[in-house]
Structure 1
C-alpha cells in the first residue's frame, strides 16, 4: 500500500500534520513516512563560508532526533501504525513533489515559516499545485461530527474530488456536503449520481451556489472538518472553480483542505 507522506520539521504545525496522518493511517491501514527536507545551503546567509555555519554531524544528529521524536509520538498512542522516516538534502517542495509520485497522500502543516511547513506561496503552494497525489494541508481543530465539504464544478475532476470526499466522509461516519458552482439546471449531475451509487450508505447533501465559489466554500469550511477541492496542476484549478480557488482556500479555509489532482486510485 502506498504511503502517507508527512512533511515534518518538529514545529507545532508539522506535528498537527503528523497526528492527522496518524489518524488517516488508522482509518486506512496505510503506512506513514515522516519526511524532513534539509535545504542547506539554500537557506544559508550569503557571503559566509558554509563549513563555518554548518557542522554536518551536529545537523544530522538534530534531524535524526527530530524524526525519532516523530516516530515516538505515533507509536506511543498507536503502536500498530507502520511509521518510517526519510531525511533528504534539497528543497522541500521538490522533495515532496518527487515523493508524491509514489505516495497515497502528502500531508503538510497549514502554517509556519520552516522549510517544510512553509509560508503559503512557497512550499505549500508549489506542492499543492504540482503533486501527483492528493495533498492535505492541516489546519483548525474540527468537531468529530462535522461534515466533509466538497467543491464541484462539473469539470473532469469533479468525480475524483467527490470520490475522495466520499471516502473521507464514510471513514469518519459523517455526511458529505457538496457545493456546486454555477450549475446547469438542465444537465444531470452525472458525477454526483455515480458517487451516490458507490456510497449508498453515505448521507450526501448537494446544494447549488450562484455566488463566487471561494466565498461559498470558505463559509462552508467554518462548519466542516475537511474541505476537498480540485486542481489540474500548474497552479490552475479546473473549470468553473476559477484559477486561484485552491490557493485561496489554502489561505482562508477554517478547516483542513485536501487538494485532489486526479483520480487517487489511478
Structure 2
C-alpha cells in the first residue's frame, strides 16, 4: 500500500494515543504523512450568566495553547518512536464528523480511537458511525492490543464493497507479513422455514463457487500470502466478531441503506463497530488502495 496521508483523531485520551501509535506504525510501513487532528465543537451560544443568553464563546487563549501544546507533544513523541515518519497537526473550529468526512476526500486513511473526551472521542456513538458511513477513504477504529503476528481477517460476500474490503485486507496482510483469514458467511434460515426439509445448513458447491473463485484469484495475485478461507452458515456479525478474538485487524465493507448510498452502515458493520474485539477497518466501494 502506498498511502500518502493518514489523519488521526487526537485528544490525549488513551484511545487517541492508541490510534496515534497504530497510525504511526502504518505510516512507517507505507511512507505516509501522519496528521494529528483536533476539532473544537463549541456551543452555538454560551450564557454569560444563568439567565442571560450571550454570543458564542470560542476557546480562550489558554485553551488554544493547551490544545496546540498537546498536539505538538504528540509530534515530539512521534519523532522519538518513529523518526522516519513525517507528521503534521491540524486544529479546526468546526464539527469533527463533517470535517473528517470532508477531509477524507484527500486522505488515504482515517484512524480513530475508541474512547475519548473531546470532539474526536466518544467513538462508540454518532461520530464513529457517521465518519465510518460517509468517509471517502477507509476508516480504522483502533481497539485491543493484538500480537503483531496475528492474522488479518476480512468478511466478504458478493457486493462491490466487500471486494474493496478484500483488496484492503490483502494489502494490510502483505505489508504486515501475516496471514489472511477470509470469511464468507450465509445467514441461517430462521422462523417458519427453519425446521423444514427445504433448509440446508451446509454451503453448497454452487453457492460457494464465486467465493472459491475470489480466493483463487487472490492466491494467484499473491502467491506468497497465506490465505485461509472459510465458508459457513452463520450470522456474519457473530462469526466475524469471534474471528476477531485472534486477529490484529478485522476488515469489512459497508452495506448502506437509504436514499443516499452510505447513509447508514449495514447491520454487520454497526454490530462490529461496537463489539469488534480488535481494531476494525471499514472500507467503502470507493476506498481503493493507492
The TM-score, its normalising length taken from structure 1, stands at 0.91
Q: Deviations over 1:196-231 (max 9, x none)?
A: 222111000000121111000010000000000001
Are 1:9 and 2:11 matched, yes or no?
yes
CA contact (8 A) 1:249 1:257 kept: yes
SS at structure 2 position matched to 1:112: coil
Per-residue deviation, 1:118: 1.9
- Cα distance in 2 between the residues matched to 1:43 and 1:109: 29
Aligned equivalent of 1:220: 243
SS at structure 1 position matched to 2:160: coil
SS at structure 1 position matched to 2:43: coil
Point out the structure with max Rg over C-alpha: 2
Q: Which residue of the other structure, out of 179, 182, 188, is the alignment partner of 1:178?
A: 182
Alignment of 1:69-218 (within 5 A): 69-182=73-186, 185-186=205-206, 187-189=209-211, 190-218=213-241
SS at structure 2 position matched to 1:103: coil
Does the C-alpha gap of structure 1 residues 174 and 89 become closer, same or farther in structure 2, counting only changes over 3 Å?
A: same
Does the C-alpha gap of structure 1 residues 100 and 21 become closer, same or farther in structure 2, counting only changes over 3 Å?
A: same
Residue segments in structure 1 that go unaligned for 5+ positions in a row = 238-242
- Moved segments of 4+, more than 3 Å: 42-55
CA contact (8 A) 1:113 1:119 kept: no
Does the C-alpha gap of structure 1 residues 94 and 184 become closer, same or farther in structure 2, counting only changes over 3 Å?
A: farther
SS at structure 2 position matched to 1:125: helix
CA contact (8 A) 2:39 2:95 kept: yes
Residue segments in structure 2 that go unaligned for 5+ positions in a row = 187-202, 257-261
- Cα distance in 1 between the residues matched to 2:54 and 2:227: 56
Q: Deviations over 1:121-180 (max 9, x none)?
A: 311111011100000000000011111000011211222111111111111111100110
CA contact (8 A) 2:13 2:115 kept: no
Aligned residues: 261
CA contact (8 A) 2:45 2:57 kept: no
Aligned equivalent of 1:29: 31
CA contact (8 A) 1:8 1:34 kept: yes
Aligned-CA RMSD value:
2.2
The TM-score, its normalising length taken from structure 2, stands at 0.83
Aligned equivalent of 2:195: none
SS at structure 2 position matched to 1:259: strand
Per-residue deviation, 1:50: 5.9
Per-residue deviation, 1:77: 1.3
CA contact (8 A) 1:162 1:192 kept: no
